[in-house]
Amino acid sequence: MCVRRCVITVGDLGEFGVVTRITGRLPQGAAVMLGPGDDAAMISAPDGRVVVSTDLLLEGRHFRRDWSGGYDVGRKAAAQNLADIAAMGAVPTSIVVGLGIPADLSLEWLDALTDGFGDECAVVGASVAGGDITRCDRVVIGVTALGDLGGRAPVTRSGARAGQVVAVAGRLGYSAAGWALLEADAPADSPALLEAVAGHRRPCPPYAMGPQAAELGASAMLDVSDGLLQDLGHVARASGVRVELDPQAFTIGEPVALAAKELGADPLEWVLTGGEDHALAAVFPPEVRLPASWQVVGRVVEGEGVAVFGREIRRRGWDHFR
């Protein structure tokens, strides 16, 4: 087998010894042919193509240190990028990390952060290949994830066609429920409510379902990062179709239902508009027999936009500039 290579520039891997501390203490996966210690890393790309995604997390906007420890932030930062790779139908192979940190950030918090990066990558067999660091007034985390398609075509947002079905895999509404509990300073005094809070601090993307969906013939797919309605709107626009969802088709998890009862909220609104669960939403031809991990929740028709039968949802999801 011919193993192709790509070289990723990842800044000064040894600056202040901190990035070496991050990458040097983590196991390196088979995809990393040359890891920390040079000006760039070298990653194997057997498919000849590399799927790449990048995201920023800003303290005070995407996480709060009084709500989440370093370990949870590391898991979350890695997860949201690895989920993007899976949503293209690819298998994540590695990440590189850029950090801006205050001078007084404790080494304990930083160690926990790096443990979070490594443990989340380990879930999918990926590794941390390198990174860079600078001083900043608050914690800023930039993660770039890479993945391999294994010979498959990428699953984009523009392939949905009228007559197909919409399905989701993974949890919806957990992060929104957990955020609402934290924001209200509501006591999480039961296992279910604790699970909701944990869902905000650390998402659980269904990574394996991305390549599975590609193998099953998904025509469009994305991860739910900004809310299902908002994100399916991207599919509708890119594909030139209308997505119609059946509110009765959604399963509302017990933690979401109990949090809604505690706060007097509508759990379905969290399911439809809550972000950061990083579930997967995909569109399939109607003849595809979907495994139990996928739940059909709607259909694709002629038209435009996203609608929910019998419900008026005013909030559509997260908008970074609204």
Angle, CA 278 vertex, CA 276 and CA 282 arms, to 5°: 135
Residue type at position 217: G
226 marked as binding residue: yes
Q: Is 319 among the annotated ligand-binding positions?
A: no
- Determine whether the annotation assigns residue 53 to a binding site: yes
- Cα(144)–Cα(139) distance, integer angstroms: 17
Q: Is 54 annotated as a binding residue?
A: yes
Beta bridge partners of 36: 38
* Pairwise CA distance, residues 221 & 303, whole Å: 19
Residue 72 is labelled as binding a ligand: no
State the Cα–Cα distance between residues 24 and 16, nearest whole angstrom: 13
- Establish whether 84 is an annotated binding residue: yes
Q: Is 223 annotated as a binding residue?
A: yes
Tokens coding 74: 């590391």
Residue 62 assigned as binding residue: yes
To the question of whether residue 318 is assigned a binding role by annotation, the answer is yes
Residue 157 counted as an annotated binding residue: yes
Range 214-237 burial, b when 16+ CB lie within 10 A, else e = bebebbbbbbbbbbbbbbbbbbbe
From the annotation, which residues make up the binding site for substrate?
62, 276, 318
From the annotation, which residues make up the binding site for ATP?
131-132, 157, 225
From the annotation, which residues make up the binding site for Mg(2+)?
39, 53-55, 84, 132, 223, 226
From the annotation, which residues make up the binding site?
39, 53-55, 62, 84, 131-132, 157, 223, 225-226, 276, 318
